[in-house]
Structure 1
Amino acid sequence: MPVDGVVEREPGSGLSASPSRPAHAIDELFEAVLDDTGDATVRRLVSESWERSLAAAIDPATALPPFRFDPSESAARLAAHPLHNVMPLLRSNLVSIAEEAMHVVVVTDEQGIVLWREGANAVLRPADRVGLVEGSCWSEEAIGTNAMGTTLAVGQPVQIHSTEHLVRAVHAWTCVAAPVRDPDTGRIVGAIDITGPRRTIHPAMLALVGATAQLAENQMRMQLAIADERLRARNQPHLLSLRGTPGALVTPTGRIIAGEPFGEWPERVDLEQIAAGADRVRLADGREMHVEPLAEGYLLRAARRRGRATTVEAPRHALSLRFLGDGSPTVVLDGESHALTLRPAEILTALALHPEGLTAERLAFLLYGEDGNQTTVRGEIHRLRALIGTDVLKTRPYRLDAVVDTDFGTVRRALRDGRIGDALRACAGPLLPRSDAPEVRGARDELEVGLRRAVLESDDVELVHAYATHRLGRDDLEAHELLVDMLPAGDPRRAVAESRAARLLAE
């Protein structure tokens, strides 16, 4: 273990630069190792990282971290990142310690791009000068050996001290970092880092950062279990509606969380083919399954066998509506997907919002206003019943005899439960944006106003920034003005927000 700031020799790996060495001795050690003169060596972890960094053509004399994204984009990336929901934990565990010890706390994504940083103001200014700001990339391939990039490369907590950094510009710093793995996929999704002047990092910081990363993973695991149960409860009717045909419920990342029959399913399925536009996947055992997108997640189903008799009562139908955003409205009925035109989508929206049922007169008013005509509505209903079935769309009154799941309902539930970030991420855009039906307009406005109010009253700068760059908030002057007020003067996102607010004000 390190004693009084001295780093012990690793077996067969040589002597590391240590905080107790004078600055000129540390610099001489760096030059000796890099120039391959004398008998000075560095730790194996560091030497292997240097080899990777030099192979990536990093220049120790001139390299600075590149910007992979505009700093204004990094907050939106954080809002959509798996680590977003554990940021309160990271702040409570690390920020006060970092501020007192004159350090900076940094969170990166899996590529080493800085999504967030916070710490003592006196240290943030010199951190700016070496590019340790949101949007900059600290992978080994981008800036050479450093704790953030190296922990992502080796998948374990590391400390990089002073001249163990390959690039001279950061020799005045020491940093400790630990990777964070997504319990959903098992992949590294980012890194937690504490960086400070090279004489101020205590050996216990490495254990602190490692423990905090484990706490973050545990909290993500708990949140995942809760989300799985919600997804399972809401979408189990889709599985039951297959009526004996093998099928499974799949999360958006490809994990199977329920299947019929039980016990015949792999842990995961590869959904990359779906992202490429395919409508089916092949399981490891060779079975080919159709994939139907639900309001959240997917339904796998095997091709139904013709002429198969059943002696059990068929369960209620399952209906999933995907009506948010600019794409074509889509309905998934009992595992089969159908594209809709605008009018049937409007009718289904109204019926989903009124599960108790609607008379022809009331439905005509909700769709057409005072000029609504019952005869027109009856014709539309007749055509819709031919598409989804007379046992799904009942009459007298008009109602849906099915378990209904909607993407706009997912956003409404998240808002009702206070899960503002989840609501914003689930909202792909306005509800049926081309619709002028009074009922749809009202539901659309209610959803957008509710989401906007929740975000602007949240006092969460990351949420406000995510909203300001979202489809719903990019033209919202008040949101951009609020963002300007919330961001500190040195935050590069503030200038972008000020520019956008000025353009909106001038329009």
Structure 2
Amino acid sequence: MAHSPSDVARLTAVDTARAARVLDEVRDATLSGQPGPLDPRPVIGESWTRMLRGGVDPDHDFRAGLLDHEEIERRRRDSPLRHVLPVLRQGLLSVADITHHIMVVADGEGRLLWREGSRPVLRRADGFGFELGADWGENVVGTNGIGTPAVVRRPVQVFAAEHFVRTHATWTCTGAPITDPRDGRLIGVVDISGPWESMHPSSLAWVDSVAKLAEARLRERHLASLDRLRSVAAPVLARITGRALAVDRDGWTAAVTGMPHLDRVALPAVLGTDRIRLPSLGLCSVEPLPGGWLVRVSDERCAPRGATRIELDLGQPRRWSVTVADGAGTWSHELSPRHTELLYLLALHRTGRSAADLADDVFGDPGRTVTVRAEMSRVRRYLGSVLEHRPYRFPEDAEVQVVLPENPLDLLPHSTAPGVLRSRVLPPRESWAQSRPITGYSA
């Protein structure tokens, strides 16, 4: 009779060698469709299911092409993770070397950009492709401590035969995602790895706490940069009688005058000095500032926008976005996991959802309306007039298209929201038929 997944954790804490043997039996039984001595932990079992559905071969050690040195260096320069390497090293490396582990830092695509620690363990890692520039996305090499945390958006420990690919079963990985504290976007994963004999149950909390320290350092850097921009912009804004704001290069607001504060404005990918229309602001002119832009809001009425088309792209496993196109142009915004859930639920229910409805859809608790209203307020700051409220909904005359993964079971794999889980049970077209259908569908 199968036991609770918590039995695996208790067994691992007491006797790692015995746990490794039991997990090998669990893995073989599960992949062959037979009952095993224990059930795999939910996070592992769900990952194995994704791997079988995606065609990853558990008996073949597949290795994607390594990035060359120039591409690794380019990604390092472009990655915000470079700013928090000292935090990661200080928190992880000293203990990792003692416990015969290595620290690995990957970008949001699962590419290994930094790798440090015990030299013997580094050489052992080379033996199965755990090296700089390698792609350790879950869909490439199966369940692991880099790719799986990136998919489920939470810390994961993968011990011995919990790895989907058999040749990785001599290894243990403990990884935690690092997200952009400004908007929740995944920017990478930090992982501690080594031979399974060196695994310790406390590694999960240890790695997670260091990842959170890194996110806190990124938040401090962001606030400091806004402070610098605010100092530069203050004398300029003091001379302006109308509405204006100073934003950094990513659209985060440092200061405003003549208008309520906005956390962020959605800027076009290419921004010159021409007049443009920005969501929630209307017609604007922009001027460069050191470290950002001065945005002057015009009092002129914009020309009619024409038909509005909204595309919600959920087709990728780790990155989601919303694109709005109308007569005045097109702009896109990358979404955090929570905002992705909310907009998907509104696309399902075109007639609208109240705060209590969304709280029930997201948390299974209609009483959590304060949290929902706060999140929807943030969403409306960048979606502007293309998202209405009372109830929350997309405009009735807007064309809404949702790009979904080919299999409904791959829909937002990180999400535990009841409204999303219901969509994974039925094919998308059937689930949409229960409410007002989405205008467009693409897979």
What is the TM-score of this pair, normalised by structure 2? 0.61
Q: Match of 2:278, as an amino acid? A: R
What corresponds to 1:34 in structure 2?
A: 31
Cα distance in structure 2, aligned partners of 1:273 and 1:190 = 22
Q: Deviations over 1:184-227 (max 9, x none)?
A: 33212111100011121111111110110111111111121111
Distance 1:37 1:260 in 2: 67
CA, structure 1 residues 60+254, in 2 after alignment: closer, same or farther (shift >3 Å)?
same
| CA displacement, residues 354-386 of structure 1 (integer Å, 9 cap, x when unaligned) | xxxxxxxxxxxxxxxxxxxxxxxxxxxxxxxxx
Q: Distance in 2 between matches of 1:89 and 1:80?
A: 18
Distance (Å, rounded) in 1 between the aligned partners of 2:64 and 2:272: 31
CA distance 1:294–1:56, change in 2 (3 Å): farther
Q: Which runs of 5+ in 2 are unaligned?
A: 301-443
2:289 counterpart letter in structure 1:
L
Aligned residue for 1:170? 168
Runs of 5+ consecutive residues of structure 1 not aligned to the other structure? 1-7, 306-507
Report the number of matched residues.
295
Q: Quick check: 1:91 aligned with 2:89?
A: yes
**Cα displacement (A) at 1:162:** 1.0
User: Which of the numbers 286, 289, 314 marks the counterpart of 1:291?
Assistant: 286
Residues 169, 275 of structure 1: CA spacing in aligned structure 2 closer, same or farther, 3 A cutoff? farther
Q: Counterparts of 1:204 and 1:187 in 2: how far apart (Å)? A: 27
Tell whether 2:5 aligns with 1:10: yes
1:386-420 Cα shifts (integer Å, max 9, x gaps): xxxxxxxxxxxxxxxxxxxxxxxxxxxxxxxxxxx
In 2 relative to 1, CA 282–144 (structure 1 residues): closer, same or farther, beyond 3 Å? same
Q: 2:77 aligns with which of 54, 76, 79?
A: 79
Aligned to 1:199: 197
Check conservation: 2:276, 2:285, Cα contact below 8 A: yes
Q: Whole-Å Cα distance in 1 between the matches of residues 275 and 23 of structure 2?
A: 59
8 A contact 2:242–2:297 mirrored in 1: yes
- Aligned CA-pair RMSD: 2.8
Using the alignment, how far apart are the partners of 1:34 and 1:16 within structure 2? 23
CA contact (8 A) 1:147 1:176 kept: yes
Alignment of 1:134-283 (within 5 A): 134-241=132-239, 243-263=240-260, 265-274=261-270, 280-283=276-279
Partner of 1:67: 65
Q: 1:57 to 1:277 in 2, by over 3 A?
A: farther
Provide closer, same or farther for how the CA distance between residues 205 and 235 of structure 1 changes in structure 2, counting only shifts above 3 A: same
More strand by share: 2
Contact 1:58-1:144 within 8 A present in 2 as well: yes
> Deviation of residue 288 (structure 1)?
2.9
Aligned residues: percent identity?
A: 34
Give, in angstroms, the shift of residue 262 of structure 1.
Answer: 4.2
Partners of 2:233 and 2:262 in 1: CA distance? 19
Q: What are the within-5 Å matches in structure 2 for residues 92-491 of structure 1?
A: 92-241=90-239, 243-263=240-260, 265-274=261-270, 280-284=276-280, 287-303=282-298
SS of residue paired to 1:117: strand
Matched residue type, 1:234? V
* SS of corresponding position for 1:250: strand
Shift of the alpha carbon at 1:23?
A: 5.4
* SS at structure 2 position matched to 1:21: helix
Q: 1:105 to 1:277 in 2, by over 3 A?
A: farther
Return the letter of the residue paired with 2:133.
G
Alpha carbons 1:49, 1:145 under 8 Å: kept = yes
Q: State the alpha-carbon separation in 2 of the partners of residues 68 and 238 from structure 1.
A: 49
**Equivalent position of 2:50 in the other structure:** 52
**TM-score normalised by structure 1 residue count:** 0.54
CA distance in 1, matches of 2:143, 2:275: 43
